[in-house]
Amino acid sequence: MDETKLLIIGINGQLGSALRKKYPRAQTTDVAQLDITDKQAVDNFNWQNVDCILNAAAYTDVDGAETDTGRQAAWSINAVGVANIVNAAIKNDITMVHVSTDYVFDGRQEVHAENEQFSPLNVYGQSKAAGDIAVSLTPKQYVLRTSWLIGEGKNFVRTMLSLGKQGISPQVVNDQIGRLTFTNVLVEAMGHLLETHAPYGTYNVS
């Protein structure tokens, strides 16, 4: 695998930062260089030296996605933006590695299998499920479905730590069960799939 022909989209997020450490010679973009919600911009991007897209771009504010502006942003980035990248991947014969979420399910199953039917309960999950469907149209694709991502940057663990240091006793929901996924673990899983030429498809990784 030629690292210089990898393109990391969403380089400034938690996952993008971890991917940069794993692949320091890869090509990188963020919204300032490539707005994935702009189809024309995606079509005009120079895909000539890209063999594989590592898509770390996403709208991940679950509560924010329930607001009027957040709903639009979630669908624009997680569904329309992903579809734009998929179109470029198909046209240019590029492998696509995409990160999904356990929120595409309703949580009623004790163990979620890769082939479980989508059953999202909220806007965030719905927008991510739509993106997954778009990615499934790409002949060469890996979808890594993960949960509660933790890495460098803003996340639940750091928020709780900050509140604790301030002497604040936070109130949080108690009706969710999740499993932390550290960004370095997810990045290693991506590398494993690519380096071993694993069968294309969806993998649950947490």
> Catalytic residue numbers?
124
Contact by Cβ (8 Å): 8, 26 = yes
One-character DSSP codes across 171-185: ----S-----EEHHH
CA 5, 43, 123, 69 torsion-angle sign: positive
Q: In angstroms, what is the C-alpha Rg of the chain?
A: 17
Distance of CA 76 to the CA centre of its chain: 14
**Helix or strand run (H / E) with residue 100:** strand 95-101
How far apart are the C-alpha atoms of 190 and 145, rounded to whole Å?
11
Contacts of 186 (CB under 8 A, 6+ apart): 15, 18, 99, 144, 146, 149, 205
